[in-house]
Amino acid sequence: MSEFERRERAFERKHELDREIGFMVAAHAAKAMARWAAEQMGLRAEEAQLYVKSVLDIDLMIPHHAALVAKIENDFKARNLDISRHHIVQELADKVDEARKVHLAQ
């Protein structure tokens, strides 16, 4: 195997690992975000678990978690919670940072 082929395989493997980590970070952050949202809405344990599942069922790969933010924002509005989209996005950014630290440390 030539040096070029070794480098190409290494690059492909790194790209694959980066995608895997990205997915794990997105899923971890979405789950943390759903738990936070359930807490904000005052959901009890069983309701909170169902809510987390419903959030995790949405497409996490939509850029910038747009579907996640929209769902939580709509759920907050439906419960007359005065939590702005900006606050939701900031909370999500914090959850993504936390998840990234966890998964990069592994």
- Yes or no: domain 3-105 corresponds to CATH 3.30.460.80: no
pLDDT at 53 over 70: yes
- Domain locations in the chain as residue ranges: 3-105
Answer yes or no: are the C-beta atoms of 35 and 48 closer than 8 Å: yes
pLDDT tens digits along 17-44: 888 888 899 889 999 999 999 999 999 9
pLDDT at 14: 87
pLDDT tens digits along 80-90: 999 999 999 99
